[in-house]
């Protein structure tokens, strides 16, 4: 089941440098593990923004929420979720 998710990051200016570096490293590892597992299908940077647009392929709403809630950057993010369905013009649909 597919979802488009837009994540905007706003790190506090006064965040401790070590906390910041550690959080970013954990975020990257977390994202890459989910990409390898096939749940985080795509991730793109939005040009000029500290934001990404991502596509998730998950079992259900519960799993998507679990993934997003546990993002190391979650406390610093604004997140928009759009559930997706197959488009009738999509040539890859069987």
Binding site for its own copies (CB under 8 A): 1-5, 11-13, 15, 27-28, 31-32, 35-36, 42-49, 52-53, 60-62, 64-66, 68-69, 75-76, 79-92
Output DSSP code: residue 74. Answer: G
Q: How far is the CB of 21 from its own copies (least distance, A)?
A: 14
**SS3 for 47?**
coil
The residues, any chain, with a CB within 8 Å of residue 59's CB and separated by 6 or more, are: 1
Residue with smaller CB distance to its own copies, 12 or 21: 12
Residue with smaller CB distance to its own copies, 36 or 94: 36
Output DSSP code: residue 66. Answer: H
């Amino acid at each position: 089941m597919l979802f488009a998710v837009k994540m905007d990051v706003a790190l506090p200016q006064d965040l401790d440098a070590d906390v910041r570096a550690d959080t970013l490293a954990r975020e990257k590892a977390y994202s890459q593990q989910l990409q390898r597992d096939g749940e985080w299908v795509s991730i793109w940077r939005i040009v000029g923004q500290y934001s990404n647009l991502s596509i998730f392929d998950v079992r259900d709403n519960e799993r998507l929420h679990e993934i997003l809630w546990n993002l190391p950057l979650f406390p610093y993010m604004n997140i928009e979720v759009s559930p997706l369905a197959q488009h009738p013009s999509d040539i890859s649909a069987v």
